[in-house]
Structure 1
Amino acid sequence: MANQSVTEQVKESVDIVDLISEYVDLEKRGSNYLGLCPFHNENTPSFNVNKEKGFYYCFGCQASGSVIDFYKEMENLSFSEALRDLGNRAGLKIKYKQESINSKDLQLIKMHEHLVDLYHEILTETKEGETALNYLLDRGFTLEQIKREKIGLSPNMSDGTIKVLEKLGYSKEMMYQAGLVARNEETFQYFDRFRNRIMIPIKNHKGRYVAFTARALGDDHPKYLNSPETDIFHKSRLIFNLSDSYKVIQDRKEVIMMEGHMDVLKVKGTNIKNVVGTMGTSVSKEQIEILKRVTQNITLMFDGDKAGKNATTSVGEKILEMQANPYVISLPSGMDPDEYIEKYGSESFENYIKENRDHFILYDAKEKLKDSKDNDLMFTENLNRSIQLLKYVQNEVEESRILRGLSDLYEIEADLIKRQLPKRKEVRRQKETFHRPSILNVTSREFKERHIIHTFINDKSALETFKSKLDSELFQTEGYYGIIKNLVEYFSEFDTFDKQMFLSYIDHEQLSNLERILDTDLPILGESELNDYVNAISGMSSSSGEKNKLIKEIEQAELIGDDTRALELFSQLIELQKSPKSK
């Protein structure tokens, strides 16, 4: 990762207005530029760009940052990748280290990459794979699609995968940690987790293979078997096919979310490419936040069985509460997408998608009314539910359209329903609890604290040198000083850091903090840099009062709608954060 001077060089060389204008229509307003925010859905422009200061700020969702931050978010890149691309754009000769991946994690990824190739070869090039290959071809997959998606077949052996990976130098314990083999906990005998199954590889959001979905051939149970959670595969933070569909979703301004990975692959064979899959029927807030960075319009196309309908209700509510736009496509007779395409063909499926999309609130009302049309009590409860859901819709045009739909469904005048809605300003204040992370959230202080701990994790001697200077007042981010104390205890017994071993030293509540630190792509600080960082956060407290005062004034200005004053204050906040005591 590049150092700070290179970062500043890129910021100075790339015109922030020119770059953002490639994504947003900007209009000059005084010393700033104004446009519709690309990070949330709005009708009235609230997205400001200040060319002189080199930052953007949205008064609607509080998204903010530099030209690098903007490009990183829009293109779904890491900081290093964004820095590289913008450096090339500006004609700068930048020397930077390649993104570092924890050596253990890299081993786990490499194992998956080896097996993706092996399983694919078994399916497409061997006699053993003929039955599975014919099954896929009969299901409507083309050979070209099978090769593009690297679908494979695991060998019908209890140790086929183990033998292959052992020849490549991997231990059984490492295979187990990768989720590729299982273990009898009584005998500690290892065996292949996936046996005689169609293997669908799962990529992380950077396009690296990290897991599998495995479909049984014949009547074996379970029908689908997924990789377990590992250090490189977190189901609540990963969305199937997002790395492949990211650009299409951006272009079409909509994502269609499905349950089955096989469904997603089948639909990708049509002209509908903006599709992703869940990691089960539950969808986390973190997954929704990830999708919101790409599009505000999330369409649910879950199976028509009871579990699928329950998931649609749960996820739809969550999307609404997080201020995105949920839609629903219900297939006839409880079919799944794969079955529909097989029965009616791709063209019919594409037309069905275009013609059968309901806003979640209307879908929800229709489902509830099926059981309550002749029950006055349930009818009133369901109407009140629809009104409570409608309060989250911030787009007035969309609100009007939904009101007309609810009026038709409940046979009540739209104006009467609208009068029951809470005032929009009250909901707007609620909305702020769901905005995406910004530089006001991940502060310069927290970044430095995280960087220091990241260095200590990777350099025991650095911790030994500095531990006498460390105390609870120095580390103010909640939970960080606790991790420091645990590291001191851990390194009193071990010379190198091992995440699994370290987990026994920390409380469950600290796990999310540890994950954030480990997931941050940062270089290891040298002794002089560490000393600067420790001295810097020691001096930050003196400026914290002024910073908090500015933040409160910004909030007050936003509350009364004085955007000019708020932007002026935000500019002061940026300057304060640039000052040595704040950094």
Structure 2
Amino acid sequence: AQLAEAALYKICAEAGEYFRLNLEKPQSAKAQEYVSSRGFSPEFAQEYGFGLAVQEPMALVNYLLKKGRSISDMITASVALSSKYDQKGYDFFINRLMIPIADMHGRVIAFGGRSFGDEQPKYKNSMNTPLFDKSQVLYNLHRAKDAIRTQRSAIICEGYMDVLQLANHSLTNSVACLGTALTLPHLRRLAALTPQVNLVFDGDKAGRNATLRTVSTALEVASVECRVVVLPTGEDPDTFVQKHGADAFRDFVQNAKGLLDFAIETRIQETHALGVPDLVTKEIVPWLQTIKDPLKQGFLMNRISDLTGITVSNISQAVKGDAPTKKTPPKLAPLPGVLPER
């Protein structure tokens, strides 16, 4: 198994170097212009390992074959795909700006690919592999861990372009989830570094909905204070920091709201006044029933009472009613008109 993993690490490292050298070639001027248009200098792009996946469908596969790598290992490392028509291997990433994803030791284990312009999908990440599990890995944590420890605060974004732009503006304590909501392993990893985590979401309903899924996760890691930073509608950290600068972004982080209050208040705001009791019965009570610690449950009931105007005794009565049939904590229903996850 160790030999097999070593081969995958080599493939990822060689692919990263191949992508990086592609971007530096004179014929890659359009890709270089795109990087510059996003506000990144050539020095920054080099430091963060920016690269280019070209349009030829077997360019990387052929490069790695010459290095003695097998197509089956390339497929396992998620840099190649197999074709059911001709049994050949084809590049997994084609015509994309490439961002390497590293483990805590700085070893490349996967890639993110950003399309040039609005081609869909805009973002494409490596599949899960023996080296890369998106529920365990936070983008940029290997670089940000020292700043997170020193500042006693972490910023979690929804995408790696957000993290890169924040780093470009000297905000070095940011990481990103990779196409998934924040998980328990993510939060435990951060809890080893900091007592405070700030979840930054795009100023739209999809972003707000992501925080609802995080409440149950946050309750499992009591040592970390989870807060929510909501940017203005239509903004994400990438666009916001370019328009308004690092100090304005820091002000938003400074004024972050507690995760629990934000999650409940957001649901209440999306519900008309007469619908609040129904919201509590259908969504909040089943969720409270999954929380086994009586002190945590009591604290939450008091907080929810303050936010909804429903008495603690009424909430408590409802919680002591029928237990939820599911053993796993139910997800709070998505807000109306939610966009799909990136």
TM-score normalised by the chain length of structure 2: 0.80
1:165-217 residue CA offsets vs partner (Å, 9 max, x unmatched)? 11211122221121111111232121111111100000012211010000111
SS of residue paired to 1:113 = helix
1:137 aligned partner: 36
**Aligned partners of 2:295, 2:178: CA distance in 1, in Å?**
29
1:508-535 residue CA offsets vs partner (Å, 9 max, x unmatched)? xxxxxxxxxxxxxxxxxxxxxxxxxxxx
1:118 aligns with 2:12: no
C-alpha change, 1:421 and 1:149, in structure 2 (3 Å) is farther
1:349 aligns with 2:249: yes
Q: Is the 8 A contact 2:138 2:175 kept in 1?
A: yes
C-alpha change, 1:377 and 1:117, in structure 2 (3 Å) is closer
Q: 2:199 aligns with which of 300, 317, 320?
A: 300
1:67 aligned partner: none
How far apart are residue 277 of structure 1 and its match? 0.8
How far apart are residue 373 of structure 1 and its match? 5.0
Q: Is the 8 A contact 2:20 2:49 kept in 1?
A: yes
The letter of the residue matching 2:22 is: I
1:255 aligns with 2:171: no
C-alpha change, 1:394 and 1:276, in structure 2 (3 Å) is farther
**Aligned partners of 2:153, 2:83: CA distance in 1, in Å?**
45
In the alignment, structure 2 segments of 5+ residues that lack a partner are 318-342
**Aligned partners of 1:187, 1:376: CA distance in 2, in Å?**
58
Q: 2:142 aligns with which of 243, 258, 274?
A: 243
* Structure 1: 4+ residue segments shifted above 4 A: 386-395, 409-412, 416-422
1:527 aligned partner: none
Q: Is the 8 A contact 1:258 1:278 kept in 2?
A: yes
SS of residue paired to 1:157 = coil
How far apart are residue 296 of structure 1 and its match? 3.6
C-alpha change, 1:340 and 1:132, in structure 2 (3 Å) is same
1:333 aligns with 2:233: yes
**Aligned partners of 2:86, 2:11: CA distance in 1, in Å?**
25
2:339 aligned partner: none
1:370 aligned partner: 269
Identity of aligned residues (%): 27
Q: 1:287 aligns with which of 158, 166, 186?
A: 186
SS of residue paired to 1:329 = strand
Q: Is the 8 A contact 2:134 2:180 kept in 1?
A: no
SS of residue paired to 1:110 = helix
**Aligned partners of 1:227, 1:271: CA distance in 2, in Å?**
27
1:36-72 residue CA offsets vs partner (Å, 9 max, x unmatched)? xxxxxxxxxxxxxxxxxxxxxxxxxxxxxxxxxxxxx
C-alpha change, 1:411 and 1:272, in structure 2 (3 Å) is farther
Matches within 5 A, 1:543-554: none
More helix by share: 1
1:183 aligns with 2:76: no
1:467-488 residue CA offsets vs partner (Å, 9 max, x unmatched)? xxxxxxxxxxxxxxxxxxxxxx
1:104 aligned partner: 4
2:335 aligned partner: none
How far apart are residue 150 of structure 1 and its match? 0.8
**Aligned partners of 1:110, 1:235: CA distance in 2, in Å?**
20
Higher relative contact order (CA 8 A, sep 6+): 2
Moved more, 276-285 or 224-233: 276-285
SS of residue paired to 1:140 = coil
Q: Is the 8 A contact 1:320 1:393 kept in 2?
A: no
The letter of the residue matching 1:179 is: S
Q: Is the 8 A contact 2:229 2:253 kept in 1?
A: yes
How far apart are residue 380 of structure 1 and its match? 7.5
SS of residue paired to 2:81 = strand
1:193 aligned partner: 92
SS of residue paired to 1:311 = helix
Asked which structure has the greater CA Rg, the reply is: 1
Matches within 5 A, 1:173-572: 173-323=72-222, 324-354=224-254, 356-372=255-271, 374-375=273-274, 377-378=276-277, 381=280, 385=284, 388=288, 407=306, 410=308
C-alpha change, 1:379 and 1:362, in structure 2 (3 Å) is farther
**Aligned partners of 1:282, 1:171: CA distance in 2, in Å?**
34
**Aligned partners of 1:274, 1:366: CA distance in 2, in Å?**
28
**Aligned partners of 1:388, 1:359: CA distance in 2, in Å?**
18
**Aligned partners of 2:36, 2:194: CA distance in 1, in Å?**
33
C-alpha change, 1:342 and 1:122, in structure 2 (3 Å) is same
Q: Is the 8 A contact 2:202 2:233 kept in 1?
A: no
**Aligned partners of 2:305, 2:34: CA distance in 1, in Å?**
45
The letter of the residue matching 1:374 is: A
The letter of the residue matching 2:126 is: S
| Number of aligned positions between the proteins | 311
Q: Is the 8 A contact 2:218 2:226 kept in 1?
A: yes
How far apart are residue 307 of structure 1 and its match? 3.3
Q: Is the 8 A contact 1:281 1:308 kept in 2?
A: no
The letter of the residue matching 1:254 is: S
The letter of the residue matching 1:165 is: L
C-alpha change, 1:421 and 1:258, in structure 2 (3 Å) is farther
